[in-house]
Structure 1
Amino acid sequence: MTTTADLESLLAGHEDDVLSPDTLAALDEREEFPDRAVRLLDDAGLPAHYVLTPDGDFSRTVRLLRTVARRDLTVAIAHGKTFLGAAPVWVAGTPDQAARLAERVRAGEAVCWGLTERDHGADLLASEFTAVAMADTGADGAGDTDRRSNGNGNDTGNSGSSSASGVGVGWRLTGEKWLINNATRSTLACVLARTDPAGGGRGFSLFLVDKNQLPQGSWRTLPKVRTHGIRGADISGFALADAPVPADALVGERGDGIAVVLKTLQLTRIACTALSLGAADHALRLARDFATGRELYGRRLADVPHVRRVLGRAAAAGLTVEAVSLLSARSVHTLPGELSVLSALTKAYVPTLTQQALASLGELLGVRGFLTSPPGGGFAKLERDHRICAIFDGSTVVNRTTLLHQMPRLARQLSRRRTDLAGLRAAADVTTPLPPFDPSRLTMLSVTGCSAVQALPELAARLRDQGPPQAGRLIDQVLTQIALLEGESAEFVPVAGGLPSSAFGLAEAYERAYAAAACLLLWLENPPLRTGRLGTDGLWLRACLTVLLGAEGGNATAVFDALADVVLTTPVTEFTLWGGAA
Structure 2
Amino acid sequence: MLPTCDTRPPDDTASRATDLEYAFGDPCDPANPLGFKALLTADGDGELPRAAERLLDGAGFGAELVPAGLGGRLHDAAGLMRMLRPVFRRDVALGFGYGITSLFAAAPVFAAGTPAQRATVARLLTGGGRAAIVHRSLAHGTALLRGELTAMEYSGGYLLQGRKDVVINAERAGAVVAYVRTDPAPGPAAHSVFLLDPDRLPPDGLRLLPRRPTTGLRGCRFAGYEFTDCPVPADSLVGEPGAGVRLALRTFQLNRTLITGAVLASVDTVLRAAVRATLASGGPRGRQRAVLAGVFAGLLAGDSMAAAVLRALSLLPGSAHLAAAGLKYLVPDLLRDDLEELATVLGAGGYSRDTDQGMLTKLLRDLPAAGLGHAGTAACQAVVIPQLPLLARRSWGTEAEPPDALFTAGPLPALDLARLEVAGGGDFLIAALKAAAARLSDAGAPGPYDGTLRSMASAFEDALRELRESCLALEPGDRTALASPALCALADRHAVLSAVGAALATWERHRHTGSFLADPAWLVLALQRYGRRLGLNLPPLPDPCVERVAEELLARFRAGRSFDLHDTPLAEAGTP
Q: 2:458 aligns with which of 472, 476, 484?
A: 476
Report what 1:441 is aligned to. 419
Q: 1:34 to 1:237 in 2, by over 3 A?
A: farther
Report what 2:24 is aligned to. 11
Report what 1:59 is aligned to. 78
- The separation in 2 between residues aligned to 1:233 and 1:497, in whole angstroms, is 40
Task: Return the offset for 1:199.
Answer: 4.8
SS in 1 for 2:470: helix
Contact 1:130 1:193 in 2 (8 A): yes
Q: Which residues of 2 match residues 391-402 of structure 1 at below 5 A?
A: 391=372, 394-402=375-383
Answer yes or no: is 1:26 the counterpart of 2:41.
yes
- The separation in 2 between residues aligned to 1:568 and 1:238, in whole angstroms, is 49
TM-score (ref. length: structure 2)? 0.85
Q: 1:451 aligns with which of 428, 431, 443?
A: 428
Task: Return the offset for 1:13.
Answer: 5.8
SS in 2 for 1:449: coil
Q: Which residues of 2 match residues 43-54 of structure 1 at below 5 A?
A: 43-53=58-68
Q: Which residues of 2 match residues 100-119 of structure 1 at below 5 A?
A: 100-117=120-137
Report what 1:577 is aligned to. 565
**Aligned amino acid, residue 30 of structure 1:** D
- The separation in 2 between residues aligned to 1:468 and 1:42, in whole angstroms, is 49
- The separation in 2 between residues aligned to 1:326 and 1:118, in whole angstroms, is 28
Q: 1:388 aligns with which of 361, 364, 369?
A: 369
Q: 1:70 aligns with which of 89, 113, 117?
A: 89
RMSD after superposition: 3.0
Identity of aligned residues (%): 29
Q: 1:127 to 1:390 in 2, by over 3 A?
A: closer
Q: Which residues of 2 match residues 480-519 of structure 1 at below 5 A?
A: 480-493=462-475, 494-496=478-480, 499-519=483-503
Report what 1:340 is aligned to. 321
Task: Return the offset for 1:347.
Answer: 0.6
Q: 1:201 to 1:554 in 2, by over 3 A?
A: closer
Report what 2:8 is aligned to. none
SS in 2 for 1:531: coil
Q: Which residues of 2 match residues 69-468 of structure 1 at below 5 A?
A: 69-79=88-98, 80-117=100-137, 121=141, 128-135=148-155, 169-294=156-281, 300-302=282-284, 304-366=285-347, 373-374=354-355, 376-391=357-372, 394-419=375-400, 421=402, 424-431=403-410, 433-446=411-424, 448-464=425-441, 465=443, 467-468=445-446
- Of 37-46 and 304-313, more deviation after overlay is shown by 37-46
SS in 1 for 2:171: coil
**Aligned amino acid, residue 314 of structure 1:** V
Q: 1:542 to 1:185 in 2, by over 3 A?
A: same
Report what 1:555 is aligned to. 541
**Aligned amino acid, residue 427 of structure 1:** L
- Return 5+ residue gaps in structure 2 as ranges: 1-11, 570-576
SS in 1 for 2:195: strand
Contact 2:301 2:503 in 1 (8 A): yes
- The separation in 1 between residues aligned to 2:405 and 2:539, in whole angstroms, is 37
- Of 224-233 and 109-118, more deviation after overlay is shown by 109-118
- The separation in 2 between residues aligned to 1:351 and 1:120, in whole angstroms, is 18
**Aligned amino acid, residue 559 of structure 1:** C
Task: Return the offset for 1:180.
Answer: 1.9
Contact 1:58 1:329 in 2 (8 A): yes
SS in 2 for 1:71: coil
Contact 2:78 2:307 in 1 (8 A): yes
TM-score (ref. length: structure 1)? 0.85
Task: Return the offset for 1:507.
Answer: 0.9
Report what 1:143 is aligned to. none
- Return 5+ residue gaps in structure 1 as ranges: 136-168, 295-299
- The separation in 2 between residues aligned to 1:439 and 1:369, in whole angstroms, is 51
- The separation in 2 between residues aligned to 1:552 and 1:122, in whole angstroms, is 39
The CA deviation string for residues 103-157 of structure 1, in whole angstroms up to 9 with x for no partner, is 211111111110145998489x99641223333xxxxxxxxxxxxxxxxxxxxxx
- The separation in 1 between residues aligned to 2:310 and 2:350, in whole angstroms, is 32
Task: Return the offset for 1:500.
Answer: 2.4
Report what 1:543 is aligned to. 525
Contact 1:222 1:238 in 2 (8 A): yes
- The separation in 1 between residues aligned to 2:54 and 2:393, in whole angstroms, is 50
- The separation in 1 between residues aligned to 2:83 and 2:256, in whole angstroms, is 16
The CA deviation string for residues 296-326 of structure 1, in whole angstroms up to 9 with x for no partner, is xxxx241x21100010111111111101110
Task: Return the offset for 1:371.
Answer: 8.0
